[in-house]
Structure 1
Amino acid sequence: MSPGFILYTPDIEIVEPHFDENMQTVIAGMERHICDSLSAESTGQALRDAHSKGYGLVRGEVQILGGLPKEYAQGIYATPGRHDALVRFSNGSPHIGADTQLGRTIGLALKMFDINGPTLLDDEPDSRTFDYNTINAPVFFCNTVQHYLFIQELFLEARTYFAEGRHGRHRFYRDYVTGKGALEPDEWAWEELLAFLAVAQRPCVNVLLSVYSTMGAVRHGDHIAKVRIVPDPACASEVVERQLAPAAEAFRPALVAELRERPYAFDIQVQLCADLDRMPVEDLTVEWPEQLSPYVTVARLSIPHQDISGAENLKRMNTLSFTPWRVTAAHRPLGSIMRVRKEVYRRASLLRHRLNHQERREPRTADEVMPLGS
């Protein structure tokens, strides 16, 4: 018997107190970091406020599968077909530099083309593109915009903390839990810290071997879901560069080497919410139990073998923007953290492109960015 899936209704989301005020503070901190990155990161370029270091831009194709059960054949997944795609692999840190200093949070940003229906972005409703922003962990280390205020600051200062060794690490963990002393004891961010540690301790492996998740919940047509992007087992078994030794440049050379030799594939999977208490929308530190609702494959991301070793690949990658809100209404992001990302990501992209004197324009086709064979 299939589980009874929860139907989406707008009242599943909680209106966080002082949301707009806190969001403006987050935006101000983000904008300071991007402006400072022009000189602080020694590239002469304004960088993203997160996932600053990219490991490669990859050409791909998404095949939406036919014959899906009706609960999964929702939104863009209701119509089988093939869509060109671009994938950006990156480090989650707001800094660039040696991989050994940036941590092991890895992102996979996916952009699909020729998707019918307006997006949820007011300034580009007709882009016909659809984005996923995912990381290599099923949970996120922040639940509320209030907590994000100090966590944002801590991440920007993380290199300074950890450069002090054991004492600096302890101070970082203390400031994380207590909000730098601003939180009352019954509001201390214990769950968030545990989630951060779980993400920070991910294994150092080839980016092709990680499972990537949206972390936050999204609407899935009539239902509520989380989405993940999972390596195809047969492809994963062929990867030669697997466990990566600590090095200043570890992730990009391994990715380049694998894609130069062979094609690859991921499965795009959907997990539907069957219990709002055990599969919460607002608490991103909770991993949804698969025994309540298993992940179901709805599409396949195929990546042909290709050479992404050139500097032009990184240049093309850095002109793109990705946001979890560049989706249709049937896939609306849910919860406070997902909601704050809408304006933060938009403002970050606007500022970064302006400072770098780049045109900010969503591509109409993958060929505009990365022609086949380039």
Structure 2
Amino acid sequence: MASITDQLSEGYRAAKKAVSSAPPSDAYLRWDAPGIEEIKSTEEQTTREIADIMKKMQKHNFDQHRHAFRATHVKTQGIVKGKLTVNYDLPIHLRQGIFAEAGRVYDVAARFANEPVFLQPDQSPGPRGLSLKVFGVNGELLEGPSEANTAQDFFFNNAPMIELTDIDTCLDIMKLREKHFDDPVTLKAKTALRTDALKQTAPGMLPNTNIISMNFYTQSAFRFGGYYGHMGLFPADDKMSKKASEKVQSAQSREVLSEWLKEYFTERGAKYEFKIQLGTDPAHHPTEDASVVWDEATAPYQTLGFLEFPPQDPLSPARRVFWEDQMSLSPWRGLSAHKPLGSINRLRKVVYQQSQKNRDELNANSSRDVNSVDAIP
């Protein structure tokens, strides 16, 4: 019998769904329907400005460390290899893109990282990210036919929304972050003066706990075959979820998050449910405002498959250096069936390319497409 808490929670969800004006949760809208994407005439210029600012921040990091990092998600916490298995009993409407073939198994590799643009001790709260590369995908590619590209890249964050909201807000915030790159106190004070201060400071309020316990979200919207949606990864092992009780303390090592990941993967593997929310109305499930958390009452999560990582060393020197200096990833690398949507994602197409170019130039290096999990140490 369900507990009183479970009954109340179910009642709350039912009531919330009843008062919502969104279409029924199974009236999925096409990804190219009117109102899904709205491109402003100033977007191209704004994109160039942001790319230039991000380049400056990469240079700030280089000046401090004499090594160039990515424009965001600078600090690697762990890198793991595993498998993605598509559900065998997947409903027809969910058989899209890489999930088109029920029961299909893919090789995958993932990187856990701190999101901020600078290296920081793990005592500093903030968003944590997970980038995922799925190997051996089949289908029409976003960037045209290429035998060299057989991978699908996804990017997740432990916050379900992006405080940057859209490309115009992103420009304002990036200007602040670059101007006060070496002065976090002033940056915090300037951010607090904004009309959207609560939204901008929300990432710093995320629980600073063991990364293995976290849910991860794409935050922004993506095409999903004929539809569009948000995707997420959710721990499917109680041992992972229980690690949420491990909170970073000031007296611990500044590298405690990677130490916890190493300890966890030395003893056991990890398993995530790969899920999606499908949109039914751009007013309730927008692509252009990435700060909106899609209501699960009107866009419930549906399971697509399972992501599994066996026990392994998640941060060997060879693996870390290979990923940081050799691996090239982009949300625009993959299938047309998973096309990124919204201004934040359109911005990423330029910024990720620029970030890779800057990193390679400063490090006198050449990163590349990696199309086999066996290429990763």
1:274-300 residue CA offsets vs partner (Å, 9 max, x unmatched): 222111121111110101121011011
Q: By how many angstroms is 1:194 displaced? A: 2.9
- Alpha-carbon separation, structure 2, partners of 1:10 and 1:16: 17
Matches within 5 A, 1:126-205: 126-156=148-178, 160-163=182-185, 169-174=188-193, 177=194, 188=195, 190=196, 193-205=197-209
**Match in the other structure for 1:83:** 106
**Match in the other structure for 1:28:** 52
RMSD: 2.1
**Match in the other structure for 2:214:** 210
2:120 paired with 1:97: yes
Q: Tell whether the 8 Å contact from 1:108 to 1:135 is kept in structure 2 after alignment.
A: yes
Q: By how many angstroms is 1:357 displaced? A: 2.4
Q: Which amino acid aligns with 2:157?
A: I
Q: Residues 128 and 334 (structure 1 numbering): CA distance in 2 closer, same or farther, change over 3 Å?
A: same
Q: Residues 343 and 309 (structure 1 numbering): CA distance in 2 closer, same or farther, change over 3 Å?
A: closer
Q: Residues 260 and 33 (structure 1 numbering): CA distance in 2 closer, same or farther, change over 3 Å?
A: same
Scaled by the length of structure 1, the TM-score of the pair is 0.87
**Match in the other structure for 2:12:** none
Q: Residues 325 and 10 (structure 1 numbering): CA distance in 2 closer, same or farther, change over 3 Å?
A: farther
Q: By how many angstroms is 1:309 displaced? A: 4.2
Q: Which amino acid aligns with 1:232?
A: A
- Helix, strand or coil: the match of 2:58? helix
- Alpha-carbon separation, structure 2, partners of 1:55 and 1:73: 33
- Helix, strand or coil: the match of 2:308? strand
Q: Residues 157 and 207 (structure 1 numbering): CA distance in 2 closer, same or farther, change over 3 Å?
A: farther
- Alpha-carbon separation, structure 1, partners of 2:180 and 2:140: 39
Q: Tell whether the 8 Å contact from 1:118 to 1:125 is kept in structure 2 after alignment.
A: no
Q: Residues 126 and 311 (structure 1 numbering): CA distance in 2 closer, same or farther, change over 3 Å?
A: closer
- Helix, strand or coil: the match of 1:351? helix
1:206-247 residue CA offsets vs partner (Å, 9 max, x unmatched): 111111111111111111110011111434256498323234
Which of 210, 223, 246 is the matching residue for 1:242? 246
Q: Which amino acid aligns with 2:191?
A: F
Q: Which amino acid aligns with 2:48?
A: Q
1:328-369 residue CA offsets vs partner (Å, 9 max, x unmatched): 111101111111111110121122123212222211201111
- 5+ residue gaps in structure 1? 178-187
- Helix, strand or coil: the match of 1:60? strand
- Alpha-carbon separation, structure 1, partners of 2:236 and 2:146: 33
**Match in the other structure for 1:254:** 260
- Helix, strand or coil: the match of 1:58? strand
Percent of residue pairs bearing the same amino acid type: 25
- Helix, strand or coil: the match of 2:107? strand
- Alpha-carbon separation, structure 2, partners of 1:369 and 1:148: 33
**Match in the other structure for 1:303:** 309
- Helix, strand or coil: the match of 2:123? helix
Which of 67, 85, 93 is the matching residue for 1:63? 85
Q: Which amino acid aligns with 1:173?
A: A
- 5+ residue gaps in structure 2? 1-23
Q: Residues 310 and 75 (structure 1 numbering): CA distance in 2 closer, same or farther, change over 3 Å?
A: closer
- Alpha-carbon separation, structure 1, partners of 2:339 and 2:165: 18
Q: By how many angstroms is 1:18 displaced? A: 0.7
Q: Which amino acid aligns with 1:90?
A: A
Q: Tell whether the 8 Å contact from 2:237 to 2:270 is kept in structure 1 after alignment.
A: no
Q: Residues 124 and 311 (structure 1 numbering): CA distance in 2 closer, same or farther, change over 3 Å?
A: same
Higher alpha-carbon deviation: 147-156 or 208-217: 147-156
Q: Tell whether the 8 Å contact from 1:161 to 1:172 is kept in structure 2 after alignment.
A: no
Q: Residues 69 and 307 (structure 1 numbering): CA distance in 2 closer, same or farther, change over 3 Å?
A: same
2:292 paired with 1:286: yes
Q: Tell whether the 8 Å contact from 1:49 to 1:348 is kept in structure 2 after alignment.
A: yes
- Alpha-carbon separation, structure 2, partners of 1:121 and 1:302: 29
Q: Residues 74 and 32 (structure 1 numbering): CA distance in 2 closer, same or farther, change over 3 Å?
A: same
Scaled by the length of structure 2, the TM-score of the pair is 0.86
- Alpha-carbon separation, structure 2, partners of 1:312 and 1:269: 32
